[in-house]
């Protein structure tokens, strides 16, 4: 009795625990739902938020009803057949109760199936209803591409839901039969009908089936044991000897084997109680088995039907998509299998419906399906090896052509404008001067050194951090200039972990740092134009009026504004300046909202803090990537947002958003991402102060963004609505450009024979970066294109033939105004060798002066680093520029730009600045470029550091004067003393510079 009580108590505790967990789970979901609604409402995207909810409800209710009615009708058949065919002994439930249980089971199955259908397929279903046509048909089936992106994926997922529903239906069948047998126990489980009728006096109404089986099994074994004992009635020795002597002869002293008796008894019980009963049960459930069997084969037929479309994504040996064997063997095999699956459903129903089940009739089509499947594989291999392979180019040409055309369109590389580039070698100083805007904007600084410099010199306090450096273009003193800029954000890992400090006081970052890409200081570091806190700007066109950054790349914590605790704004000397948030963003913390957010953020401090009032607001999901993902998760987002300053001095984040899919027919996937269609259709703008988010459609011709706009009305705005001072900062994204560039290495070949042979395969060019050879990144430039007079912002990358280093093409994307998004390829002449970046790097390595200085710099605790090679089209020629950095081995050292290399027409100029290198290469008549990026040498003049004889000095009136021998010796002694001092202080970079300076003076004495 006590054991039963313990079990009952345990069951009660478990039940209560499960209920609590369910309430907690549902409660958390409700809290998240409500607070998310408040967040969407604050941003003005209530319609977007409710679209998902209403879509799920619209699908859940009808799907729940349909699934429930199907299951209820099915269970009604079971109940009807059970009463009709099964003779029952007990009746412990009424028809009304049985019907209620049937509705309960049906409702559970219907709810699970409907919930899966509505929550997992709502977006696919709504996209299917709103799908926009691509106006491009696939070449094999002649269906619009939208069918493959929306219809077929939806059908595949529906099939999976149906399979789950079938499994649930089978479980429901077992449960319902078990319930019926419990409340209306059939006589068949109390013995055979004959036994029951011949012994009317026997009453086992109170004995369960399991108890009766156990009792009868025990009786059978008892009888077998008695028989065995009788066989061993003689003495032990005699009985044992008799048994031994008869061993192998099938007898025990002439008597029946007692173990045979026991085995026969058990076999009889099994045959009578199980085999017979289950046969009767199978007859009873025949209709249900037929229904489930038809359902199964129907799913199989649908699967084979959909499998034929998968051939469009098959990776063959020479073509991506359906090839000759796919279109002529495997396609028809799938269609035959589909027909056989339908026939299997029919024959299964016919075979099961017979009074005596026809197994052979049922098995014939499944056997044929297996045979067809194996035969298709064998025939496919034979056709590939003996028909296609000997004449592959002709057999596969049609399919290769399909692959080329569809891949080009999927990646947007079908409209690249190709133009021949002469690659002449006749540049003059006048040409350089005429294109001064190009050279005024060549990036001498690099991203990583600039980021390090910003963090060391401009982070101001330990709790500020620059996450990365972005490149953009602005008007600086009336000139169109390329600049670096970065946001100074709060480094949340370096502030006090107290709740008030993290969530009420340190609420925002502050200001930006900006520098020109080509301008460096005397120490070889970026020459900063906007710096410090508050921001100090040397650029009239860029004045920061709203420097606070509440929303950024590293703002991962929620903050509460409008509290009694003053917000830290920025440090000022030994004091701090405080402010209050004046923006419109945030959810008001009313008493109810405080409770909701306290639960959501798992913080009772939100609820009990006396600093918070009803006027306070909570700002959460402040990370800009999380913010846009939360609003529109069905777009893909660029991993590199960049900061923009508008004309009013306010800060905005710009994020490139993409529509992508992996279901574009015949389009080869991009290996690094698995997608095979991409468009940069949307530009997202996030206000760094208010957190407002706007989605602007920049490519209105993209059917995928048109479909999404149909699903989410009110989400997108036309690009015409973007403010002009933000629109001028949109740029062609590097991520998309590099995907297109990589795909174009193969798919620029449109001739089928050339494509098949791979005769003109390209590679992205290599360069030496740091001290290692790597594949080039794309780079932004400001330049006037050949034949154009106006400078524009472009993105470029270089091509070389596969396994070769000479340059074959220069791909660029235009970023400005009406030219935005245009792709242009400059093809190098095939009749001459045009040096590629790797060959330029080899020339640099072979230059004795450069090699010698690199070796010197690599000694005594310093090292040189090579920046990107910039391939610059000027007039009809190509010019190459590479900056060189020097970095000491000390932990706090920064890379410094010390030299600039210019390579043109087999000539190399290696100087302190770009202006000097251009002057060395082309002469003195290069206009204002003589002093571009000029940098003074450390501890002496530039000529001395460069190793040239410092034969001239400067007079007080600015004129030049030849140094005397004694003056040169004095300067040499000074350089030596400086080198010794630098060595003693461990400043090996300066030591190298002074040694180089000393070398120059000593040479001049020879």
pLDDT of residue 226 exceeding 80: no
How much is the average pLDDT of 930-953? 40
Q: Which residue has the higher pLDDT, 812 or 282?
A: 812
Sign of the C-alpha dihedral computed for residues 890, 894, 899 and 901 taken in this order: positive
| Whole-number pLDDT of residue 114 | 94
**Cα(102)–Cα(301) distance, rounded to whole angstroms?**
30
pLDDT bucket at 181, cuts 50 / 70 / 90: confident
Q: Are 577 and 9 in contact (CB under 8 A)?
A: no
* 483-487, 631-635, 782-786: least confidently modelled range: 782-786
**Cα(826)–Cα(812) distance, rounded to whole angstroms?**
8
What six digits make up the tokens of 855? 């070796």
Q: Are strands 417-420 and 823-827 parallel, antiparallel or unpaired?
A: parallel
Sign of the C-alpha dihedral computed for residues 454, 455, 457 and 463 taken in this order: positive
pLDDT of residue 743 exceeding 90: yes
**Cα(379)–Cα(244) distance, rounded to whole angstroms?**
62
pLDDT of residue 1 exceeding 60: no
| Non-local CB neighbours of 713 within 8 Å, separated by 6+ positions | 47, 51
pLDDT in tens, 696-705: 999 999 999 9
**Cα(632)–Cα(705) distance, rounded to whole angstroms?**
12
How much is the average pLDDT of 142-159? 96
| Whole-number pLDDT of residue 241 | 38
pLDDT of residue 8 exceeding 80: no
pLDDT of residue 472 exceeding 60: yes
pLDDT bucket at 912, cuts 50 / 70 / 90: confident
How much is the average pLDDT of 676-692? 97
Residue 255 DSSP label: B
pLDDT bucket at 88, cuts 50 / 70 / 90: low
| Non-local CB neighbours of 994 within 8 Å, separated by 6+ positions | 938, 939, 940, 975, 976, 978, 979, 982
Tell me if the pTM is above 0.85.
Answer: no
| Whole-number pLDDT of residue 283 | 62
Compute the half-sphere exposure of residue 151: CA atoms within 13 Å on the CB side of its CA. Answer: 11
**Cα(557)–Cα(854) distance, rounded to whole angstroms?**
47
How much is the average pLDDT of 295-319? 93
| Whole-number pLDDT of residue 892 | 65
Residue 289 DSSP label: H
CB contact burial 546-577 (16+ within 10 A = b; e otherwise): bbbbbbbbbbebbbbbbbebebbbbeeeeeee
What six digits make up the tokens of 76? 């009604």
pLDDT in tens, 519-533: 888 777 888 999 999
* 203-207, 544-548, 1002-1006: least confidently modelled range: 203-207
* 233-242, 450-459, 595-604: least confidently modelled range: 233-242
| Whole-number pLDDT of residue 956 | 36
Q: Which residue has the higher pLDDT, 553 or 440?
A: 553
Classify 576 as helix, strand or coil.
Answer: strand
pLDDT of residue 45 exceeding 90: yes
Q: Are 898 and 883 in contact (CB under 8 A)?
A: no
| Non-local CB neighbours of 238 within 8 Å, separated by 6+ positions | none
Q: Are 193 and 227 in contact (CB under 8 A)?
A: no
CB atoms within 10 A of CB 28: 12
Q: Are 344 and 297 in contact (CB under 8 A)?
A: yes
**Cα(648)–Cα(644) distance, rounded to whole angstroms?**
11
| Non-local CB neighbours of 626 within 8 Å, separated by 6+ positions | none
pLDDT bucket at 940, cuts 50 / 70 / 90: very low
Q: What is the DSSP string of 39-99?
A: HHHHHT-HHHHHHHHHHHHHHHHHHHHHHHHHHHHHHHHHHHHHHHH--BS---S-HHHHH
Name the nearest CA neighbour of 224 among 194, 268, 189: 268
Q: Are strands 772-775 and 779-783 parallel, antiparallel or unpaired?
A: unpaired
Residue 723 DSSP label: -
pLDDT in tens, 499-523: 999 999 999 999 999 999 988 887 7
Classify 276 as helix, strand or coil.
Answer: helix
From the number of C-beta atoms within 10 Å of its C-beta (0-12, 13-18, 19+), residue 239 rates as: middle
pLDDT of residue 762 exceeding 70: yes
**Cα(890)–Cα(892) distance, rounded to whole angstroms?**
6
**Cα(747)–Cα(879) distance, rounded to whole angstroms?**
28
Q: How far is CA 911 from CA 931, 962, 988, in A?
A: 12, 22, 21
What six digits make up the tokens of 684? 């997202």
**Cα(393)–Cα(401) distance, rounded to whole angstroms?**
11
| Whole-number pLDDT of residue 229 | 42
| Whole-number pLDDT of residue 437 | 85
Strand order across the 559-561 sheet: 559-561, 617-619, 587-588
CB contact burial 300-325 (16+ within 10 A = b; e otherwise): bbbbbbbbbbebbbeebebbbbbbbb
Name the nearest CA neighbour of 530 among 541, 539, 522, 521: 539
pLDDT bucket at 474, cuts 50 / 70 / 90: very high
pLDDT of residue 791 exceeding 70: yes
| Whole-number pLDDT of residue 256 | 47
Kindly report the backbone phi and psi dihedral angles of residue 589, in degrees, each rounded to the nearest multiple of 5, phi listed first. -95, 70
Q: Which residue has the higher pLDDT, 579 or 934?
A: 579
**Cα(774)–Cα(955) distance, rounded to whole angstroms?**
48
Q: Are 216 and 269 in contact (CB under 8 A)?
A: yes
pLDDT of residue 21 exceeding 70: no
Cis omega (within 30 of 0) for bond into 534: yes
**Cα(184)–Cα(177) distance, rounded to whole angstroms?**
10
**Cα(570)–Cα(510) distance, rounded to whole angstroms?**
7
| Whole-number pLDDT of residue 770 | 86
Sign of the C-alpha dihedral computed for residues 132, 674, 809 and 870 taken in this order: positive
| Whole-number pLDDT of residue 247 | 35
| DSSP E strands, 892-989 | 896-904, 907-911, 952-954, 960-962
| Whole-number pLDDT of residue 993 | 72
Q: Which residue has the higher pLDDT, 804 or 263?
A: 804
Q: Which residue has the higher pLDDT, 990 or 214?
A: 990
Share of the chain above pLDDT 90, in %: 57
**Cα(484)–Cα(885) distance, rounded to whole angstroms?**
18
pLDDT bucket at 304, cuts 50 / 70 / 90: very high
pLDDT of residue 645 exceeding 90: yes
How much is the average pLDDT of 822-846? 92
Mean pLDDT for the chain? 83
Kindly report the backbone phi and psi dihedral angles of residue 251, in degrees, each rounded to the nearest multiple of 5, phi listed first. -145, 165
Q: Which residue has the higher pLDDT, 268 or 422?
A: 422
**How many residues are present in the chain?**
1006
**Cα(234)–Cα(402) distance, rounded to whole angstroms?**
92
Kindly report the backbone phi and psi dihedral angles of residue 821, in degrees, each rounded to the nearest multiple of 5, phi listed first. 90, -5
Q: Which residue has the higher pLDDT, 290 or 229?
A: 290
| Whole-number pLDDT of residue 898 | 86
Q: What is the DSSP string of 391-458?
A: GHHHHHHHHHHHHHHHHHHHTT-TTPEEEE----S---HHHHHHTHHHHTT---S-HHHHHHHHHHHT
| Whole-number pLDDT of residue 90 | 65
| Whole-number pLDDT of residue 351 | 85
How much is the average pLDDT of 913-925? 84
Beta bridge partners of 686: 653, 693
How much is the average pLDDT of 829-835? 89
pLDDT of residue 938 exceeding 60: no
Q: Are 129 and 121 in contact (CB under 8 A)?
A: no
pLDDT of residue 479 exceeding 80: yes
Place of tokens 């407002």: 692
Name the nearest CA neighbour of 840 among 777, 921, 903: 903
Q: What is the CA radius of gyration of the chain?
A: 41
Sign of the C-alpha dihedral computed for residues 941, 944, 948 and 950 taken in this order: positive
pLDDT of residue 692 exceeding 50: yes
pLDDT bucket at 254, cuts 50 / 70 / 90: very low
| Whole-number pLDDT of residue 862 | 79
| Non-local CB neighbours of 295 within 8 Å, separated by 6+ positions | 162, 166, 169
pLDDT in tens, 377-408: 999 999 999 999 999 999 999 999 999 999 99
């Amino acid at each position: 009795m006590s054991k039963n009580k313990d079990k009952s108590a345990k069951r009660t505790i478990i039940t209560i625990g499960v209920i609590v967990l369910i309430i907690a789970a549902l409660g958390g979901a409700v809290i998240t739902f409500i607070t998310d609604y408040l967040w969407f409402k604050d941003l003005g995207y209530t319609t977007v938020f409710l679209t998902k909810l209403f879509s799920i409800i619209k699908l859940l209710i009808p799907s729940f009803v349909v699934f429930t009615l199907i299951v209820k009708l099915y269970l009604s058949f079971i109940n009807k057949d059970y009463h009709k065919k099964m003779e029952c002994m007990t009746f412990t439930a009424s028809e009304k109760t049985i019907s209620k249980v049937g509705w309960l089971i049906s409702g559970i199955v219907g709810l699970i199936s409907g919930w899966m259908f509505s929550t997992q397929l709502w977006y696919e279903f709504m996209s299917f209803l709103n799908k926009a046509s691509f106006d491009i048909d696939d070449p094999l089936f002649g269906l619009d591409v939208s069918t493959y992106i929306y219809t077929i994926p939806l059908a595949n997922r529906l099939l999976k839901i149906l399979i789950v529903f079938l499994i649930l239906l089978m479980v429901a069948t077992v449960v319902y039969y078990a319930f019926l047998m419990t409340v209306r126990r059939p006589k068949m489980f109390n013995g055979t009908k004959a036994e029951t009728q011949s012994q009317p006096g026997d009453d086992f109404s109170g004995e369960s089936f399991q108890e009766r089986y156990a009792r009868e099994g025990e009786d059978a074994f008892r009888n077998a044991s008695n028989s065995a004992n009788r066989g061993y009635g003689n003495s032990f020795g005699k009985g044992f000897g008799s048994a031994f002597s008869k061993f192998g002869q099938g007898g025990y002293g002439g008597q029946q084997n007692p173990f045979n008796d026991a085995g026969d008894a058990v076999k009889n019980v099994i045959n009578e109680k199980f085999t017979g009963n289950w046969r009767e049960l199978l007859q009873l459930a025949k209709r249900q088995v037929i229904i489930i069997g038809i359902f199964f084969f129907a799913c199989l037929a649908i699967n084979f039907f959909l499998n034929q479309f998968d051939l469009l994504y098959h990776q063959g040996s020479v073509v991506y998509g359906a090839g000759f064997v796919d279109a002529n063997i495997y396609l028809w095999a799938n269609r035959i299998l589909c027909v056989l699956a339908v026939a299997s459903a029919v024959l299964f129903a016919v075979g099961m419906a017979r009074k005596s089940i026809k197994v052979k009739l049922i098995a014939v089509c499944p056997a044929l399906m297996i045979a067809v499947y194996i035969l298709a594989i064998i025939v496919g291999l034979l056709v590939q090896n003996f028909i296609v392979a000997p004449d592959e180019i002709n057999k596969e040409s049609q399919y290769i052509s399909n692959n080329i055309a569809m891949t080009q369109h999927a990646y947007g590389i079908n409209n690249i404008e190709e133009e021949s580039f002469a690659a002449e070698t006749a540049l003059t100083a006048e040409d350089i001067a005429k294109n001064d805007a190009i050279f005024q904007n060549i990036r001498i600084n690099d991203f990583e050194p600039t980021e390090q410099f910003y963090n060391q010199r401009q982070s101001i306090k330990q709790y500020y951090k620059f996450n990365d450096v972005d490149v953009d273009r602005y008007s600086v003193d009336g000139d169109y200039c390329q600049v670096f800029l970065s946001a100074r954000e709060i480094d949340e890992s370096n502030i006090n972990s107290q709740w008030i400090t993290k969530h009420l006081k340190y609420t925002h970052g502050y200001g930006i740092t900006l520098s020109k890409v080509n301008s460096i200081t005397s120490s070889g570091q970026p020459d900063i134009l906007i710096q410090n806190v508050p921001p100090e700007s040397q650029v009239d066109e860029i004045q920061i009026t709203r420097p606070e950054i509440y929303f950024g790349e590293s703002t991962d914590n929620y903050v509460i504004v409008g509290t009694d605790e003053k917000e830290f704004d920025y440090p000022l000397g030994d004091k701090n300046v405080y402010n209050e948030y004046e923006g419109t963003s945030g959810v008001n913390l009313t008493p109810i909202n405080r409770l909701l957010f306290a639960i959501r953020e798992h913080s009772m401090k939100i609820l009990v803090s006396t600093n918070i009032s009803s006027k306070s607001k909570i700002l959460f999901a402040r990370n800009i990537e999380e913010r846009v993902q939360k609003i529109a998760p069905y777009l893909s987002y660029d991993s590199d947002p960049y900061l923009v300053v508008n004309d009013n001095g306010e800060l905005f984040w710009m994020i490139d958003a993409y529509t992508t899919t992996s279901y574009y027919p015949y389009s080869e996937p991009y290996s690094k991402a698995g997608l095979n269609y991409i468009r940069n259709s949307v530009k997202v703008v996030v206000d760094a102060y208010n957190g407002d988010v706007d989605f602007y459609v920049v490519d209105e011709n993209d059917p995928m963004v048109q479909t999404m706009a149909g699903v989410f009305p009110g989400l997108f705005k036309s690009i015409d609505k973007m403010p002009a001072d933000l629109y001028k900062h949109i740029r062609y994204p590097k991520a998309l450009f590099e995907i297109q560039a990589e795909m174009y290495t193969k798919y620029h070949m449109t001739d089928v024979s050339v494509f098949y042979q791979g005769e003109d395969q390209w590679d992205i060019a290599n360069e030496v970066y740091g001290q290692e050879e790597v594949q080039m990144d794309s780079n932004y430039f400001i330049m006037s294109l050949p034949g154009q007079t106006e400078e524009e912002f472009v993105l470029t990358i270089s091509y070389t033939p596969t396994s070769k280093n000479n340059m074959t093409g220069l791909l660029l994307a235009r970023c400005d105004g009406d030219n935005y998004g245009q792709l242009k390829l400059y093809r190098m002449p095939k009749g001459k060798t045009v040096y590629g970046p790797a060959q330029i790097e080899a020339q640099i390595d072979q230059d004795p002066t450069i090699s010698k200085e690199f070796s010197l710099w690599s000694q005594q605790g310093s090292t040189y680093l090579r920046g990107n090679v910039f391939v610059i089209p000027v007039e009809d020629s190509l010019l190459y520029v590479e900056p060189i950095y020097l970095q000491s081995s000390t932990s706090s050292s920064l890379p410094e730009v010390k030299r600039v290399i210019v390579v043109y027409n087999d000539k190399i100029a290696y100087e302190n600045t770009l202006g000097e290198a251009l002057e060395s290469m082309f002469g003195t008549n290069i206009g204002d470029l003589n002093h571009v990026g000029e940098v003074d040498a450390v501890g002496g003049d530039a000529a001395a550091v460069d190793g040239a004889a410092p034969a001239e000095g400067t007079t007080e009136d600015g004129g030049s004067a030849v140094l005397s021998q004694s003056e040169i010796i004095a300067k040499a002694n000074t350089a030596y003393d400086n080198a010794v001092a630098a060595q003693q202080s461990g400043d090996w970079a300066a030591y190298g510079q002074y040694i180089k300076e000393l070398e120059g003076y000593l040479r001049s004495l020879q």
